[in-house]
Structure 1
Amino acid sequence: MSAAPAPTKRAGVFRDVIDSIFEPGVNRGVLVVMNGAFAGLFAILGYLLFATRLNIHVCALTVIAALLFAAIQWFIREVAAVQKPPAAAGAAAAQPPRQKKKKL
């Protein structure tokens, strides 16, 4: 009787974060933790907006945090787009260019 291979387990979010230190780019675990941290930040800022009756300083911090979150999300999408080559461009590069016929 042969031993069945043990099922592989998913490493987990925190293991992904630790592994991302040694890998280039950003993996899914880092994105989950970062988005969770921003969700907590926005929850606290939302409470502060209510508790301070829209204090101008808290409003400014909320706008800065929202812009930072948007910039980070945009940057991650751009890096992912550069790392993943489009399929159509790869197929076009594999074919040699056609030569034009000369008119006499």
Structure 2
Amino acid sequence: MDVESAGHTHTATLAAEVWDVEPPAADDRGEWEERGEAVLHCPSGELAVWGVTAGPRETYLRLSDKDGMWRVRVYCEGRREVRRLAQEGVPEGVEHYLVQFWPASG
């Protein structure tokens, strides 16, 4: 799963949540500029977090102990601001992501 940032040469923050059922919408937890949903096949039950230029992080997200299909909802805020600031320097923690995972039914 690739998520494209609005800026270049910066560090964004990422919060991930794994739920047993579809979580409530996070509309009241941020000033989200973008949001999207998808279905993800995860054969190992574990996801690695990568940065485009930094490569793999030491962060792994365990969804399950087995192969499965997952629903994923991604929220992002700070996109307009990071786009502007990345033209002037290397902003840190301006763009924020919240990613929610839950088992896909059926």
Q: What TM-score, normalized to structure 1?
A: 0.26
Question: For the pair shown, which has the larger CA radius of gyration, 1 or 2?
Answer: 1
Tell me: higher relative CO, structure 1 or 2? Use CA pairs within 8 A at least 6 residues apart.
2
